[in-house]
Chains A and B, each alone.
Chain A
């Protein structure tokens, strides 16, 4: 009888500690997301895409983000090179349903919708995906704490995030990820993405975090390295400000065509 009780207690304690650990992991992730929760903002940045041979394609863009209750709107205007200057991408990023995307092509003077059901699709042909451009839904993943690591002199907690379903994995473009989150500042320094066979696909580095006036942080440099194809993309923020001066009407498809 006593042995039975002990066994039950051990099982219960393991379960509770697992839940606690998982809960810790979720909490930690939530905190790290809050640390970089910027809300509305405007920035200019450069996206450089490199292939395995070192060839480069570069785009300068201006991004305006405005929050609303169901998610946020994003307006991306191409500044250079000249042949794509004036191209505008409008994204309605919803928390509870598929995003809507439109593109304005100045050469055609046309606005066209883009199907963007796959958040795992490459963003502008880079190694970043559409999913990287917005916050992932916490409920889509199972989190667990796996240990510690060192990333550029920052001691980090490593949190594993596994897609709950195959459908989600397909949507995000990866099966699981390891988030290396700075223990002190709770900033994500590195993310490793894995496929269904647990093979490393990509590694993302987030660097040059700068504290903003709302006490949140924003990474001014993001690099995504595709381990399998040896391609690399770098997003560098040139100018940044909290808040968006554009009215809500600017984020509708009707206003894309001037």
Chain B
């Protein structure tokens, strides 16, 4: 084989070039940047992003953090003082654009013939009587009741608006410091996108520091237990290290950032990159056991001769399977596809060049006791048993698979897509605790902003707005709406007496509305008015606050909004992080299907080309389809949501699982040259079974370290990928041979064997 001759003659060069290249990867690796901003994973061009940015330009930053304070009674003097001090301290911070809380909000009241815009809390109550008076006045203050303070007065909210340019670490540290400097008995919880990014960033860094060493240790242990030989352990392990370094260096070299999804890259390399080297060293050990007197170079030559085709094919199919991620909508998913494919490509090349080049220099060990013609280990006995059962009852085996598929696939009916990014952090995390409180007591944690364009002083316009608000407020999940019509109506109650025309109503004339706003501008601050309306009175913003713990509810609310807007014939655009989250969830779902379809199609085409048969294409795809459908079905049964990480599972498992099928086909094809179908199946399972089982379990072990991740999403992914791979293995080992026994596919027979068959 000329290829091996090349390796043999240039082994030193190969080793030096490899080591030099890997050393050079150290440079770009130092420039890795982390990006945990999930919303940035979406393309900028999607409507919810562009509209959100439009609103931020018009009405100021839409990036907010929320501090939720929990106490026995917010109106208690000490609590109110603490709330006031916190608000003031936050206001003074140069990093914060705006702070909205109970203690700096206003009330519009009428007293003694005056319309007054007064502070919602003019002074801290000193007695119970004063407290109750304040309680009554706050309950009537539609600008704060139910949003900045809960109806039961146990929870208060401070909204902190920041500029998009402020760094997350800085702002979170600032807020933490302020809260610590103004401590008290009340519990304070922080939530908001910047906090999510901050916490996720920390966890990504922590994950890399923990998962990588853990994964490498697990891999090392597994290889040692499998091979019990130093070079057989270290050589595939070295290729894994090289693949990790190369793929991680590729990220900054390509100008990309390490995302939450990117944490999977080194683990994928640990799991996958050793596959090819494992086959080479496994075959070397088998040959050494059969032919103990043959020198090392000859053993390596034979191993490479036998394996280079199936290993290359496996590598290519894995690469193409993973490249199915290119069809994903999320940018980091596509990037991960490219990086992982490149890393696997390198591992493939090194397994076929670097490993044999090094092995030629190394001495042979004694033959592995469990191998050889008379192999008798328990593993061997299990495989033999499986082979015999299969040949006796192929139809029964097929039925079992169909039953498995039918039962598990029904779970697809309950498969849900994660509605938001809240699951990134654990449920008991402060971030999620604050969200629970917002949902339950303060109108909801999700916001949608609607900007209306038009003559905002037109009474007809405001009445249409009011009508839309009434419809939306009646929805059980919508906690609160706040708009210009709310403000104008509140003012009308202060400017008119009860019973008077105009009391608690939108004025009938444009002039009246304009004069109301003029009055408000004089009585309050410019900032307060511009929370509702832009400077030249051509745009107004409405905020809807709601709660939703599933995609369907959020979508229903969005549809309700759009329906009403069409009905009222208003010119508008929508924004808000909840819509971006919705778009992200839809992208996750769509991306999942696109990448799955792309991966399956790629595999089908490749298998058809490799074996020159469409039968090979669909037969080889079957184990993958069973594995993916069963896994998704199980997700539905176990209520594991499809999210930004679990949605990657199918492409990756397809890319990995197809290897087992190829190895089975290849071996079967070889065995059929000498034996009949039954014998060939038994020999295939006994022969290649060890190799692909070690392969499969090493991959599963590699992914198992993801259970140590700080992200629940990644832990779920670990469970699903391991399950999926296990199903791929079982399907490849049992279903493929079973189908072959039943249909005797022609592509596994040579031409003369076919003639013989037909004759």
Contact = CB atoms under 8 A, between A and B. Distances in A.
B495 A122 contact: no
Given A53-B58, A113-B114, A107 B535 contact: no
Nearest to A104: B515
Interface string A35-65: 0000000000000011101011100000000
Given A84-B514, A115-B117, A53 B522 contact: no
Contacts of B515: 83-84, 87, 105-108
Interface in B479-523: 495-496, 502, 507, 509-516, 518-519, 521-523
A193 B523 CA distance: 22
A31 interface: no
B116 A125 contact: no
A227 interface: no
Interface in A108-146: 108, 110, 112-115, 121-127
A83 B510 contact: yes
11 contacts: A56-B535, A56-B536, A84-B514, A107-B509, A108-B507, A112-B495, A113-B115, A114-B115, A115-B118, A125-B518, A126-B526
B739 interface: no
Nearest to B508: A107
Contact of B523 (A81, A105, A114): A114
Interface string A68-93: 00000000001001111001010000
A83 B511 contact: yes
| Of listed A49, A50, A110, A126, residue having the most chain B CB within 10 A | A110
A231 interface: yes
The bracket for how many chain B residues form the interface is 35 or more
B509 to A, nearest CB: 5
A169 interface: no
A105 B523 CA distance: 14
Nearest to A112: B115
A55 B534 contact: yes
Contact of B521 (A113, A124, A197): A124
B519 A112 contact: yes
A122 B117 CA distance: 13
Contact of A83 (B112, B115, B457, B534): B457
A199 interface: yes
Interface of B: 57-58, 92, 94, 112-118, 457, 495-496, 502, 507, 509-516, 518-519, 521-523, 525-526, 529-530, 534-537
B509 A49 contact: no
A53 B519 CA distance: 24
Contacts of B57: 53
Given A108-B496, A125-B521, 11 more contacts: A53-B57, A55-B534, A83-B514, A84-B511, A84-B514, A108-B515, A112-B115, A112-B495, A113-B113, A113-B114, A127-B526
Given A122-B525, A231-B526, A55 B535 contact: yes
A159 interface: no
A115 B529 contact: no
A106 B525 contact: no
B117 to A, nearest CB: 7
A103 interface: yes
A103 B113 contact: no
B535 A84 contact: no
A39 B152 CA distance: 55
| Of listed A87, A105, A106, A197, residue having the most chain B CB within 10 A | A105
A50 B512 CA distance: 24
Contacts of B118: 115
Given A112-B519, A122-B521, A49 B511 contact: no
A83 B509 CA distance: 9
A199 B94 CA distance: 10
A114 B510 CA distance: 22
B536 A108 contact: no
Contacts of B94: 197, 199
A51 B514 contact: no
Contacts of A83: 457, 510-511, 513-515
B460 to A, nearest CB: 14
| Of listed A50, A51, A83, A127, residue having the most chain B CB within 10 A | A83
A49 B517 CA distance: 15
Nearest to B509: A107
Contacts of B536: 55-57
A161 B115 CA distance: 34
Nearest to B57: A53
A236 to B, nearest CB: 18
B495 A87 contact: no
- Please give me the 10 A-B residue pairs with the lowest Cβ-Cβ distance, nearest first: A125-B521, A83-B514, A107-B512, A113-B114, A107-B511, A55-B535, A105-B515, A51-B535, A115-B116, A83-B511
Given A114-B114, A115-B117, A125-B526, A108 B534 contact: no
Contact of A115 (B518, B523, B537): B523
Nearest to B58: A53
A39 B448 CA distance: 53
A54 to B, nearest CB: 9
B514 A108 contact: no
B134 to A, nearest CB: 18
Nearest to A226: B526
A113 B519 CA distance: 10
Nearest to A58: B536
Contacts of B117: 115
Given A108-B502, A113-B114, A124-B518, A57 B537 contact: yes
A178 to B, nearest CB: 20
A107 B118 CA distance: 24
B114 A108 contact: no
B114 A57 contact: no
Contact of A57 (B115, B519, B522, B535): B535
Contact of A112 (B92, B113, B521): B113
Contacts of A108: 495-496, 502, 507, 512, 515
